[in-house]
A and B are shown apart, each in its own frame.
Chain A
Amino acid sequence: MAIDAIVLNEADNVATAVQDLKAGQEASVRLNRLLNTIGIKEDIPYGHKFAVKPVRSGDDILKYGEVIGRATADIAVGCHAHVQNIESMRGRGDLGKGA
């Protein structure tokens, strides 16, 4: 069965769309053998991410079970998670270089 989005690690709070998704639709989201349905709130283009858990501003964004950035605004489940609400933690003087 075709799925709409994939979650790569159980710790992740975002899924990646593998189809173009439309606001208002129900998306089938898979994490290995688990299949969930999530209501999509905004259009999500193929390859883009959306929140699968509620994200508060300042929270870490997790994909592959690793931090890929930090939320700069609250992101509701089913909403587009991208450059408009996520910032990189790299090259930041206040965070220091490396680990």
Chain B
Amino acid sequence: MEFMGYRRSDGTVGTRNYVGVLSAVVCVNEVVEGIVRQVQGTARFTHHQGCCQTPLDIGLVNKALKGLGCNPNLHSVLLISLGCESTNLEEVIAAIRASGKRVEHLAVQETGGSARTIAQGVLLAQEMVGEASRRQREPFPISNLVMGMKCGSSDTTSGLVPNPAIGVTSDLLVAAGGVSILGEVTEFIGAEHILIRHAANETVAQGILKLVERMEKRAMAVGEDIRGGQPTGGNIKGGLTTIEEKSLGAIAKAGTAPIQAVYEYGERPTVKGLVVMDSPGREPEILTGLAAAGANVIVFATGRGAPQGFPFVPVLKITGSRTAAEKMSDHIDMDLSAVIDGGDTIPDAGQRILEELVRVASGAMTKAEISGYVNSMDIYMLGPVI
């Protein structure tokens, strides 16, 4: 199978072709907004970090910005900084330039305030979009797809239809030589003993257990045990019997392929196949983490209907609930409820997701893109704001 994508000089392939306007720090989000609003063909990345954080978290900000800037869906990057942030601009700029992309940088305190920075940024971005728009799509094998996976606003149908169907899609993509990224470490808890059976080797198994242990310890450090009371009373009322069952419903997205490697948040996979990336379950942070890891498409299973998309990576929404497909029709791309009330099957549905993913990768717009509901973004933090 092939899709029509944009060739990038580092060997990656974009499914979109935006000029990325990136905030280096929370303080310049309005400048970024001001530029993006006035230039078609740009996509923003704004967030709430980059200053008054622990060194560990600043490291995560640097890593995320580097990864986002290198995402193949961006043709080039305009980085906006304030001038006094903790973000390491040299490091971020150098890493994005090393991927072969043009990087421009404006610092608001040097340029002389937001109005002047917006004006200069608009002119720069216009020129960059002109350059980007001359690029043409070319056919590429789907081995160039890097698929991020996510589920949100889940209900009983999530574990029955869209998650197992995405598992089939992931298996098909992996068999074709692509990359599939499983995040949401919180959802491994209780099923990690099952997940590690899919580990390609002992290092991967230990890596998965370490991620889960770290996530649990982090929660316990603030006096909470996220494992306590799982499954919740509501889960049991809904029919979930054990924590194993609950977690299995979420990790059904991983399919049956062996897990080849374990990565930190926002780290780009260096192997093909199914991989695990450290990330929480909340939408802005995981979507950002997947994009920073180089995902050029994201599949998102939902039960009740989650609206979130990401600025420059298409997010394909999939449900097994007819109610959600009908009530949330401006947000849901694929209705797989026929697995329950029609003649459809999970293997067939998984194949159809892959076909739709190829169309989306080739330029078909997702509901999130059409509605402009694409600003679910933020960088994951481990420590406090100080």
Contacts and interface: CB of A to CB of B under 8 A. Distances in A.
Interface of A: 1-3, 6, 8, 16-18, 30, 32-33, 45-49, 61, 63-64, 66-69, 81-83, 86-91, 98-99
A47 B194 contact: no
Given A8-B252, A64-B248, A69-B245, 18 more contacts: A2-B341, A3-B341, A6-B160, A6-B340, A16-B156, A16-B160, A18-B160, A30-B345, A33-B345, A46-B239, A63-B248, A64-B164, A67-B244, A68-B241, A69-B241, A69-B244, A88-B241, A89-B242
A82 B341 CA distance: 24
A17 to B, nearest CB: 8
Helix, strand, loop or mixed for chain A's interface? Answer: loop
Contacts of A6: 160, 339-340
A48 B192 CA distance: 23
Q: What are the nearest 8 A-B pairs in CB distance?
A: A47-B239, A48-B239, A47-B156, A68-B245, A88-B242, A2-B341, A69-B242, A99-B193
Nearest to B227: A91
B243 interface: yes
A86 B239 CA distance: 12
Given A18-B160, A32-B347, A99 B238 contact: no
B346 A32 contact: yes
Given A45-B239, A47-B156, A90 B341 contact: no
29 contacts: A2-B341, A3-B340, A8-B252, A8-B346, A17-B239, A33-B345, A45-B239, A46-B239, A47-B238, A47-B239, A49-B239, A61-B241, A64-B249, A67-B194, A68-B242, A82-B241, A86-B241, A88-B241, A88-B242, A88-B243, A89-B242, A90-B193, A90-B242, A98-B193, A98-B196, A98-B209, A99-B193, A99-B196, A99-B197
Interface of B: 156-157, 160, 164, 190-194, 196-197, 205, 209, 227, 236, 238-245, 248-249, 252, 339-343, 345-347
A90 B243 contact: yes
Contacts, number: 88
Nearest to A45: B239
Contact of A90 (B196, B197, B244): B244
A1 B160 contact: no
Given A83-B241, A86-B241, A90-B242, A68 B248 contact: yes
Contacts of A68: 241-242, 244-245, 248
A41 to B, nearest CB: 17
